[in-house]
Structure 1
Amino acid sequence: MDRGKEMRLLEALRGGSEKAFESVYRKHRAVFLNFGRKYGLNDHDLLDIYQEAYIVFYQNVASGKLQELKSSIGTYILAIGKNKIREHLRKTGRLVYADTILDNQTEEESVFDGEEETPTERQRILAHQFALLGKKCQEVLKWFYYQGYDIATIRKKGNYSSDNVVKSQKSRCLKTLKERMR
């Protein structure tokens, strides 16, 4: 969306346009859900988090706290939602896994880009390098970082002999992936 259109939409929101608020809510909901699934959250939790983020956005606009956008409206909502996701993960004890992912994600990787997100060059390279890892490495990393499984759960799912074997496997796989990304 071009900058002028964003500013007109922000003005409509400030003016209390229900149609504008509904439009913004619907436009960014699906993209937010896709973003949040990367952290192993289910749609029910993500909808709750999105609604909380949207309420904060609404309050910031209505109160005049949000005067000027330095990014798109979608990026602004995503930033609020990202903090809400972190808060949710902290409460459920899963922040340890997702914190690194959330902190290492660049704004370029998290920006709403209209209706769909286009992968950056770095994301395409990461996906390619990840695909080159062995099946076991892919499973362990997905289970740990995306599904949020703990080591004991991965041991059972992957039929590993001990927690230490899982930790070693995860460490080796992550090291290999990092080396390939350099």
Structure 2
Amino acid sequence: MSKEKSDIRSDEEIILGIQQGNNLAVQQLYKLYYPTVAKMIINNNGNAEEAQDIFQEAVMVLYDKISKGNFELSSKLKTFLYAVSKRLWLKQLTRGASRFRKDSIADMEDTLVADEAIEEHEILESNLTLMEEALNGLGEPCKSIIHEFYILNRSMTEISEKFGYTNSDNAKTQKYKCLQRLKKLFFQIST
């Protein structure tokens, strides 16, 4: 067996572990996903203690959904927790310094906010998957030109040299044509 029992890595393993009451699964959630959430909160007027509180609330939302028995992960667990944490943090920021809240109403609001955030991220992930599929169907040299420009941040001069265009304006024209083809492919796939 190549994996130890304590080595829980995949989202499905973590969810299964939570369902089974495995503390290692919860520890893995913190190890894998807390740093990203903490960074987001600290970079947006928060502190480490608030980041811990928000992440704990997000984990509770996840736990609640899993314990109801009908939870289906339609995005990455990281995306789910980040989206829920972001919504909870934005809500806390809009509340200001006031910590007053009615528990049952606040819990319902948090769940509704979390559901909205999850839905938004599912749509985003779905669109990213469709875009990746469109990119893969694009063919060369368009796929490489778009990758060089948008992913590797290469200049049009560098791209024109690499792909043998006479000048950067010609490369720019080709990039435009490639984007039009990509857009067309994306909308064909998404309908």
TM-score scaled by structure 2? 0.44
- TM-score normalized with structure 1 length: 0.46
The structure number with the bigger radius of gyration is 2
Higher relative contact order (CA 8 A, sep 6+): 1
